[in-house]
Chain A
Amino acid sequence: MSGEDFVPLSLTPLLIGTFAAIACALPGNFLVLRKQALIGDAISHVVLPGIVVAFILTGTISTWPMMLGAAGAAIVSVVMIEAIRRLGQIEPGAAMGVVFTTMFAGGVLLLEQTDTSSVHLDVEHALYGNLESLIWLDAVGWSSLLDLTALAGLPPELPRIALTLVGVILFIWVFWRPLKISTFDEGFAQTIGIRTGALGMALVIVAAISAVASFDAVGSIIVIAMFICPPAAARMMTNGLEAQIAWSVVFAGASAVSGYVLAGYGPLWLGAADAVSAAGMIATMSGLILAIAALWGPYRTRTGAPQEA
């Protein structure tokens, strides 16, 4: 495919998809190891009421209020989960289930009650995202990458998700040692003076930020899938955390690129006329990668567990 087609139509969605996938997969590594993998699931459900409330308050679909609303809803849900878990002595899974389903139901109800006919805001949009529509109309070819006026027309999602990715990388890089130690041995981390509670909270907040930023661009399906599938697949490949993170980045990027390409061009190869959902396809590809890793990965079983025939 030539640069004239590729750069305006496919380059930006590809980059956004890849950045979002990696931004979610990085904190996902720690969440999977800490058995908090479903936080991504919970967050992606609760952002809906946040976005709807932000829309009701401001009356417009603009990015910053929505992201603030989503982040606010994520924080409210984390607080509610903790409160229910402590006050009611309910196991965390059930507390999470109570909170995110209720908030999601509240979001759907608010959405139905408000007049959103004039704007593009619906549940399906929140689920699938609109990766395909994030095109760069000002570009004419590869040369546009050096053209400042064309660069100004980039979809705003791209710098935002790139910034988020940089933030996530910085967080993990700065807190690498405490994160690693407290993930594997919380008691030891406490004895050497790491504030594990605050660190765990910070990790959840970073995850929420990357979820909200990615959610804005690519929908909640990718968010949940990328929090879990690439790190889980990477876990089957190695026993070292550094290597696991490297693998997960590779897997996340591979799912994003292959999913986008398959969704955009796969149906054409099969003779169909229209593309299918890129978000769904990316999630499917990450699942395929996980399945392959789970079947043949070198470290797929628990250490010491008997190999069942």
Chain B
Amino acid sequence: MFWEALTLQLGYNATLVAIGATLLGVSAGVTGTFLFLRKRALVSDAISHATLPGVCLAFMMLVFLGGDGRNLIGLLAGSAISAWIGLLCMNWLTRRTRLAEDAAIGAVLSVFFGFGIVLLTVIQTMGVGRQAGLEGFLLGSTAGMLWADALIIAIGGAATLLMVMIIRRPMTIVAFDADYAAAQGLPVHRIDLAMMGLVMAVTVVGLKIVGLILIVALLIIPAVTARFWTERSDRVVMLAGLAGGLAGYLGAALSAVTPNLPTGPIIVLVSFGFFALSLLFAPGRGVLAAVLQHLKFQRRVHIRQGLLALAQGQKIYEPLTLRLLARAGLARADGVATEAGKALAAKALRDEKRWEVIRADQAHEATAALYDGLRDIETVLTRDQIAEIDRRIGGPQEVPA
């Protein structure tokens, strides 16, 4: 059953929803990345909530003009206009008043949403049953998705992706270093607005599938997920698109095969699943990698300290040190050094002495700054320099038994 959903064999509506959700996931992931890199992820929250009054006003206009009020293009246009107004309000509050961006986001979000709710109650009193389509914009509704709806989502998503591709370089520069971008003569403020405009476009396109509250998740989570896997911005963008698209596709398939599983929330949860996996298992930035890194570091410190103790003929009491030395073949279980251990211990002690010379010498100041008790001296000095230091220290001494 699940396999059939994945291969789009579960009927017309399920196929439309799956394709729409995948496209939406890709464009939201890609667009959201720039927002995330600019450290303004929560702006999307303000934008998405600000769509509500526009949807309601557009609905009222459409009804007033004699339509049934459920024309998707009209509703989306209304939502785009009010989201844009909200965006401008937020920008104005941040730039022209003393409010910080988070307060501006919260103010726009709550006021626009509150006003939208007032309008929703007005619509409820206009005519019974007519508002049924609008509640779907809060949490998304895919049950009655039409071919035309899917087409709008596809075209909107593709157009957004194209725009991102065109202005991705200036957006990347602004995201990483706005001052540098300004010095380069880039219109930072306008690029920011363009970035927000793209986020708004994705939000508007996604209203139908996941609803205005959960579209925020599709903008933020894939970008954060992708950031775990790479340090290059172009790869983050691509991975975020991939993660978003996969989440949309799997989420749509899951909701198609399970009763009572609304599409929007399940897409968000699948997306969070990817995030949790990345948080735990990503190489480099993941939790598991960090734990391994820590263990490796701990091991190096113990072996180094153990070798120094061996070289100075001190007894080792720390069981972990003993175990590590024994496993590396440097000492026997009772703490007596093997031949290999004696050699390495002598070298460790000599290196420590070499470092001491370097750190006492002003001429080696830059090198001395690299001293952390673990670094091999050969990695920072040439053979000639080491030989020079050795001349100052004198010949090797015997390791005490």
A-to-B contact residues, CB < 8 Å: 32, 35-38, 40-41, 45, 84, 87-91, 93-98, 101-102, 104-106, 108-109, 112-113, 123-124, 127-128, 221-222, 224-225, 227-229, 231-232, 235-236, 263, 267, 272-277, 279-284, 286-287, 290, 294, 299-303, 305, 308
Contacts and interface: CB of A to CB of B under 8 A. Distances in A.
A274 B127 CA distance: 12
Q: Secondary structure at chain A's binding surface: helix, strand, loop or mixed?
A: helix
B97 interface: yes
Contacts of B262: 108-109, 112
22 contacts: A37-B100, A40-B106, A87-B279, A93-B41, A94-B36, A97-B216, A98-B275, A101-B213, A105-B269, A106-B265, A113-B260, A123-B138, A124-B138, A229-B110, A272-B125, A274-B121, A276-B125, A283-B117, A287-B110, A301-B97, A302-B97, A303-B98
A94 B269 CA distance: 16
B85 to A, nearest CB: 12
User: Which of B36, B106, B260, B268 has the largest number of chain A CB atoms within 10 A?
Assistant: B106
Contacts of A274: 121, 125
A277 B121 contact: yes
* Nearest 10 Cβ contacts at the A-B interface: A283-B114, A287-B111, A280-B117, A101-B217, A225-B110, A105-B268, A105-B265, A280-B118, A228-B106, A97-B220
B103 A228 contact: yes
Interface residues of B, number: 60
A300 B268 CA distance: 39
Interface string B94-105: 001111101101
B285 A89 contact: yes
B115 to A, nearest CB: 5
Given A35-B100, A284-B114, A229 B107 contact: yes
Contact of A277 (B40, B98, B117, B214): B117
A281 B169 CA distance: 43
A283 B265 CA distance: 26
Contacts of A272: 122, 125
Contacts of B117: 127-128, 221, 277, 279-280, 283
Contacts of A90: 224, 227
Given A93-B39, A94-B36, A308-B96, A37 B121 contact: no
Contacts of A112: 260-262, 265
Contacts of A124: 135, 138
Nearest to B122: A276
Given A88-B224, A106-B269, A276-B118, 5 more contacts: A35-B103, A38-B106, A94-B223, A101-B217, A227-B106
B287 interface: yes
A286 B111 contact: yes
User: Which of B44, B111, B260 has the largest number of chain A CB atoms within 10 A?
Assistant: B111
Contact of A97 (B45, B103, B125, B227): B45
A90 B221 CA distance: 11
A53 B352 CA distance: 60
A144 to B, nearest CB: 29
Contacts of B97: 236, 294, 300-302
Contacts of A87: 279, 287, 290
User: Which of B112, B272, B290 has the largest number of chain A CB atoms within 10 A?
Assistant: B272
A221 B120 contact: no
Contacts of B121: 274-277, 280
Given A280-B121, A283-B113, A228 B107 contact: yes
B121 to A, nearest CB: 4
Contacts of B224: 88, 90, 94-95, 98
User: Which of A41, A106, A302 has the largest number of chain B CB atoms within 10 A?
Assistant: A41
Contacts of B109: 41, 224
B18 interface: no
B238 interface: no
A280 B115 contact: yes
B264 interface: yes
A40 B103 CA distance: 11
B106 A108 contact: no
Contacts of A37: 100, 102-103, 105-106
A61 to B, nearest CB: 20
Interface in B257-275: 260-262, 264-266, 268-269, 272, 275
Contacts of A228: 103, 106-107, 110
B42 A101 contact: no
Contact of A101 (B102, B122, B268): B268
B93 interface: yes
A35 B94 CA distance: 13
Contacts of B110: 41, 221, 224-225, 228-229, 283, 286-287
B98 A236 contact: yes
B111 A97 contact: no
Contacts of B269: 102, 105-106, 109
A272 B269 CA distance: 43
B116 interface: yes
Contacts of B135: 124
A99 to B, nearest CB: 9
Given A98-B224, A101-B221, A102-B221, A35 B114 contact: no
B228 interface: yes
B5 interface: no
A108 B225 CA distance: 23
A99 B290 CA distance: 22
B26 interface: no
